[in-house]
Copies of this chain bind each other. A is one copy, B any other.
Amino acid sequence: MYYIGIDVGGTNVKAGLITENGEIMKRAVRPTLAKRESDAIAADMIALVKEVAEGIDAANIHSVGIGIPGACDDKTGMVVNTANINFHMYPLGEKIQAATGFSVYLGNDANCAALGEYYALPEKVQDMIFITLGTGVGGGLILNGKLYTGFNGIAGEVGHIMLKDGGEKCGCGRRGCWEAYASVSALIRQTRDYALAHPDSALRAACGENMEAVSGKTAFVLARKGDADGKAVVDTWISYVAGGIVDMVNIFQPALLLIGGAISKEGEMLLNPIRSFVAQNSYSPDVAKTKIDVAALGNDAGLIGAAFLGRK
């Protein structure tokens, strides 16, 4: 049996034909051109489905799953809204189903990534929390072996839990959300602020004259070289990341918590301080402890997980 996944991003719409084992047998991609009419974007998705399904007996294709960077209601097949793409209360599931004949499932992109990582685990667990650190902080909750999406389909917005009441402004309108401190965007802001406050530092030089060179890696690169300023920025940011992870552990006590997003490539330099912070700060009597690790699939997690949305 094959599964078709579609991963909708701000730049590209990617499609893949996925095996039971999560291998990507065939790929296709089209530019999103996010400002277009919803119907034009949907038409490209239909073409992508046909492209990856070509030559495969339709009876061997289980379903199509679509990962959306926004809120969607899987029960009705409706994309409720997205921040950057022209989908608002748009019946995407129905459209794709009507045009392709396949069952169609919708999911939030972070939820899809969680599902992709979950199916890729070498050892299954019942409860796994996935967080992804990028422009924001996204999350996916696998509870009792299933993706948990709440009664309206949009659960798991873990980036929008409070870290510092009244603190930094968050995109959601609140002040002080975890995302406003622990996203890579926040790390970049923290790097820039630190550099400006330390004009003679190596960190300031690494940011470029007009701050054009600053990225989520800037402070990590210096910290690896033993630079105290780089380390200060990294340590502070990691304490924010770990602070929210403590919340996740205290709430869910999952067997496994996975950290995704490009920054997770920092590996042990990210993981070690998080693990010791969580060990020190989580509510933890003498019981088994959550394992904390980085995600395995990288960019393909969302595509593979989307494909598996319909998998029981």
A residues neighboring B (CB under 8 Å): 70-71, 73, 80-81, 89, 125-127, 141, 143-144, 146, 148-158, 160-167, 172-174, 240, 243-244, 246-247, 250-255, 281-283, 285-290
For A146, the chain B residues whose CB sits under 8 A away are 144
The answer on a CB contact under 8 Å between A80 and B285 is: yes
Judge whether A253 and B160 touch: CB under 8 Å: no
**Which chain B positions have C-beta within 8 A of A149?**
253
**Residues of chain B contacted by A247 (CB below 8 angstroms):** 160-162, 247
* Cβ distance A96 to chain B, nearest Cβ, rounded Å: 21
A162 near B127 (CB under 8 angstroms)? no
Given A80-B286, A285-B71, residue A163 in contact with residue B160 (CB < 8 A):
no
**A151-B80 in contact (CB<8A):** no
Q: How near does chain B come to A230, taking the closest CB pair, in angstroms? A: 22
CB distance from A121 to the nearest CB of B (A): 14
Question: Which B-chain residue is minimally distant from A239 (CB atoms)?
Answer: B165
Known contacts A81-B286, A287-B154; A281/B251 CB under 8 A: no
Q: What 5 pairs between A and B have smallest CB-CB spacing?
A: A150-B253, A155-B253, A152-B287, A151-B255, A161-B247
CA A283 to CA B146, docked complex, whole Å? 23
Show 22 residue pairs from A and B whose CB-CB distance is below 8 angstroms, ordered by the A residue.
A70-B285, A71-B287, A73-B287, A127-B151, A143-B148, A150-B253, A151-B253, A151-B254, A151-B255, A151-B288, A152-B287, A152-B288, A154-B285, A156-B251, A157-B283, A158-B251, A160-B247, A160-B282, A160-B283, A163-B165, A164-B164, A165-B243
Which residues does chain B contribute within 8 Å of A163, judged by CB atoms? 162, 165
- The contact of A162 among B70, B158, B246, by CB within 8 Å, is B246
CB distance from A253 to the nearest CB of B (A): 3
Residues of chain B within 8 A of A153, CB atoms compared: 253, 287
A157 and B251 contact, CB distance less than 8 A:
yes
Contacts of A73 in B (CB 8 A): 287
> Please, which residue of chain B has its CB at the minimum distance from the CB of A153?
B287
In the complex the two chains form, is A152's CB within 8 Å of B253's CB?
yes
Contact A160 B250 (CB under 8 A): yes
Please tell me if the beta carbons of A161 and B250 are within 8 angstroms of each other in the complex.
yes
Contacts of A152 in B (CB 8 A): 253, 287-289
Q: Could you say which residues of chain B place their CB within 8 Å of the CB of A252?
A: 148, 150, 155
> Which has the most chain B C-beta neighbours within 10 Å: A81, A154, A283?
A283
Whether the pair B127, A150 counts as a contact (CB closer than 8 A) is yes
In the complex, chain B residues whose CB is within 8 Å of the CB of A288: 151-152
CB of A161 within 8 A of CB of B126, answer: no
What residue of chain B has the Cβ atom nearest to residue A256's Cβ?
A: B151
Q: How far is the CA of A73 from the CA of B286 in the complex (A)?
A: 10
Question: Given contacts A158-B250, A172-B283, could you give 19 more A-B pairs where the C-beta distance is less than 8 Å?
Answer: A71-B285, A71-B287, A73-B287, A144-B148, A150-B252, A151-B288, A151-B290, A152-B287, A153-B253, A154-B253, A156-B251, A157-B283, A158-B251, A160-B246, A161-B247, A162-B244, A162-B246, A174-B281, A251-B251
